[in-house]
Chain A
Amino acid sequence: MRCSREASNIQDYISGELSEEGRRRLENHLSGCESCRTCVDGMLLFRSRIRDLMRVSAPPDLRDRIAMIKTGSGR
Chain B
Amino acid sequence: MTTTTSAMQEGQGDRFEVEVLQYLDGLYGYAIHLTRNPEDASDLVQETYARAFKARSQYRLGTNARAWLFAILRNTFLNDRRSACRSPRTVSCEWLDELAGEDQDGFESPRSPDPQKSFIAGLMREDIEKALNELPEEFRSAVVLCDVEEMSYSEISQILGIPIGTVRSRIHRGRAILRKLLVEWQSSMEGSGGEVLKGG
Chain A positions near chain B (C-beta within 8 angstroms): 1-2, 4, 7-8, 10-12, 15-17, 35-36, 38-39, 41-43, 45-47, 49-51, 53-59, 61-63, 65-66, 69-70, 75
Contacts and interface: CB of A to CB of B under 8 A. Distances in A.
A6 to B, nearest CB: 8
Q: Sorted from nearest, which 6 A-B pairs have the closest CB atoms?
A: A42-B200, A58-B28, A42-B199, A46-B200, A53-B125, A39-B199
Contact of B46 (A2, A54, A62): A62
The B interface, classified by DSSP as helix, strand, loop or mixed, is: helix
B10 interface: no
Contacts, number: 126
Contacts of B128: 49-50, 53-54
A1 B128 CA distance: 27
Given A17-B153, A49-B121, A65 B46 contact: yes
Q: Which residue, B17, B107, B200, has most C-beta atoms of chain A within 10 A?
A: B107
Interface in B95-120: 103-104, 107-110, 113, 116-117, 120
A10 B200 CA distance: 11
A43 B200 contact: yes
13 contacts: A2-B108, A7-B103, A8-B172, A11-B168, A46-B120, A46-B179, A46-B197, A53-B124, A54-B148, A55-B29, A57-B28, A59-B38, A65-B42
A2 B45 contact: no
A23 B128 CA distance: 29
